[in-house]
Structure 1
Amino acid sequence: MTESSGEDARALRRETERVVNEVAQGLRMLDDGAAWFSCLSPAGRQEVLREIAGYAMQAHITAADGRAGVARSGVKPTANPSVMICMDPPRSGFAGLPADEHVKAFRVLVSVFAVADTRRRQKYCKGTCGHAWHNLPAAAQEP
Structure 2
Amino acid sequence: MTEQASDGGPALRRETERVVNEIAQGLRTLDTGVSWFSDLVPTRQQTVLQEVAAYTMQAHITAADGRAGVARSGVKPTANPSVMICMDPPRYGFAGLPSDEHVNAFRVLVSVFSVADTRHRETYCKGTCGHAWHNLPAANEQP
TM-score (norm: length of structure 1): 0.93
Distance (Å, rounded) in 2 between the aligned partners of 1:40 and 1:5: 12
Please tell me whether the aligned partners of residues 56 and 109 of structure 1 are also in contact (alpha carbons under 8 angstroms).
yes
- Secondary structure of the residue that 1:85 maps to in structure 2? helix
Give the C-alpha shift of residue 141 in structure 1: 4.1
In the TM superposition, 1:100-119 aligns within 5 A as 100-119=100-119
TM-score (norm: length of structure 2): 0.93
Show the counterpart of 1:29.
29
Show the counterpart of 2:95.
95
Show the counterpart of 1:126.
126
Distance (Å, rounded) in 1 between the aligned partners of 2:124 and 2:62: 17
Q: Which amino acid aligns with 1:5?
A: S
In the TM superposition, 1:81-92 aligns within 5 A as 81-92=81-92
In the TM superposition, 1:1-143 aligns within 5 A as 5-6=6-7, 8-139=8-139, 141-143=141-143
Give the C-alpha shift of residue 140 in structure 1: 5.5
Where in structure 1 do 4 or more consecutive aligned residues deviate above 6 Å?
none
Please tell me whether the aligned partners of residues 81 and 104 of structure 1 are also in contact (alpha carbons under 8 angstroms).
yes
**Could you say which structure has the higher helix fraction?**
1
Q: CA RMSD in A?
A: 1.2
Q: Deviations over 1:66-108 (max 9, x none)?
A: 1000000000000000000001111110000000000000000
- Secondary structure of the residue that 2:136 maps to in structure 1? coil
Distance (Å, rounded) in 2 between the aligned partners of 1:32 and 1:62: 26
